[in-house]
Chain A
Amino acid sequence: MGWFWLADAVFDPIVELIRPVPPLAYIPLMILWFGIDETPKILVITIGAFVSCIINVVAGVKNTPLVYIEAARTMGAKNRDLFFTIALPAALPYILTGMRVALATAWAILVASELIAAQRGLGFMMTNARRFVRTDSIIVGIICIGLLAFVMDRAIRYINQRMTGWMERREG
């Protein structure tokens, strides 16, 4: 979308239409259509994660420094080469940041949708515990959710640093 104008023209309005709606708002609709199984959760998470990621990716591709594009063009690169060998690598830091945001969003949606409707999972366990006034279980649930989120975020940050070691950073 950041590169091919046709893709931009087609998908940008769609993304802009979906983006303002908080993903959780889709849950009731998804439950009606797909029940309280895993499918609706996967769908809602996909929408939420995709939307929060794509903005970063598009921005990254659009911000590819012109001098790299021109240098590649003078070496004989065609539009396709430019996209895969220049725009994508140049946008990689943006893409990875987008993925980090997307992961956090996905996690939030997952827990929330489990709280609303599920047959298993952490969220389900906590709603269940509330019914039986098991405060301890609820607190354990909160801690688990926090820990898992923390571990996942660290993991993606580690991948990020490994893959973008070429970047000039302020800190060492």
Chain B
Amino acid sequence: MSNGSSLPKIECEHISHIFETGEDQGTVALQDVSLQVRDCEFLCLLGPSGCGKTTLLRIIAGLVDPTEGMVLLDGQPSMGPDADKGMVFQRDATFPWLTVEQNVEYGLKLHGYGRTERESIIRKYIQLVGLTGFEKAYPKELSGGMRKRVDIARTYAYNPNVLLMDEPFGSLDLFTKTRMQAELLDLWSQERKTVVFVTHDLDEAIFLSDRVAVMSKRPGRIREIFEIPLPRPRIVDMKVSEEFGAIRRQLWEQFEEEFGVAQTSH
């Protein structure tokens, strides 16, 4: 998919965002954030809650208009949500009144795919996320992890250029989470997309990413961007490797310096 051009896929240019709070100033969530995401790269936005990382993602998605600055997609200004940018939410966003296959079909219908084409795409992605046999099930019959799989299949199915993920595994238990991370990487290695993944989980960010952008305290800025040199394909065992540990320590120092976790804990 990459045509070798050096043009970044997503560019955030001098984005600032202020939430009106009713007081004079409002809350500055983001201040002059510039970020470039390369084509087909997996980038994590890492920071504790309240640092503005979700806001930045929502701005990229077009769900929030930034107070200042703009988002470019393929060099073109990108405004408002559209089918180029798929998003997976932290909260459960599967439509409960639709079955698994109808959920996956939703985006396809919007974009006018024909019936037979829809069916083959649905079958493919349901199989890719391992939900074969649950096509007719309603979300209420599924576990949290399975619903997330539906969300991911639904977003992948209509083939957006860019995949935005807002702590998608945040509410899952450690085992399910680890499995979902591996599955996501598996899917991503089969169909490369540009991914921006928001998380507060250090290990998750290192395991998944090509690059990790560490956010600063509020008002949010990008503090530093780390290349993650771990080879691909990544396997879960890497999480306990020496190399992983070294990267982890390095990132943690940044965290410590910025957020002073150790000083405030007891």
* Interface positions of A (Cβ within 8 A of B): 67-68, 70-77, 81, 85-86, 89-90, 92, 164-168
Contact = CB atoms under 8 A, between A and B. Distances in A.
Interface string B239-250: 000000000000
Contacts, number: 63
Given A67-B93, A86-B95, A165-B138, A73 B63 contact: yes
A77 B96 CA distance: 17
Interface residues of B, number: 29
Given A67-B89, A67-B91, A81-B110, A74 B63 contact: yes
B93 A76 contact: no
10 contacts: A67-B93, A71-B93, A73-B63, A74-B164, A75-B83, A75-B154, A75-B155, A76-B110, A81-B110, A164-B97
Contacts of B98: 89, 166
B87 interface: yes
A86 B98 CA distance: 10
Closest 6 CB pairs of A and B: A76-B83, A75-B107, A74-B87, A71-B93, A73-B81, A89-B97
Most chain B CB atoms below 10 A, which of A71, A86, A90, A167: A71
B89 A168 contact: no
A68 B151 CA distance: 11
Contact of A75 (B86, B96, B138): B86
A71 B89 CA distance: 8
Nearest to B96: A166
Interface of B: 61-63, 81-83, 85-87, 89, 91-93, 95-98, 106-107, 110-111, 138-140, 151, 154-155, 158, 164
A166 B91 CA distance: 18
Secondary structure at the B interface, as helix, strand, loop or mixed, is loop
A58 to B, nearest CB: 19
Contacts of B93: 67-68, 70-71
B81 A76 contact: yes
A40 to B, nearest CB: 39
Given A92-B97, A168-B140, 12 more contacts: A68-B93, A70-B63, A70-B81, A70-B93, A73-B63, A74-B61, A74-B164, A75-B154, A76-B158, A81-B110, A165-B138, A166-B139
Nearest to A66: B91
A166 B98 CA distance: 8
Contacts of A67: 89, 91-93
Nearest to B89: A67
Nearest to A168: B140
A103 B254 CA distance: 65
B138 A74 contact: no
Contacts of A165: 138
Given A75-B83, A76-B81, A76-B110, A68 B95 contact: yes
B96 A167 contact: yes
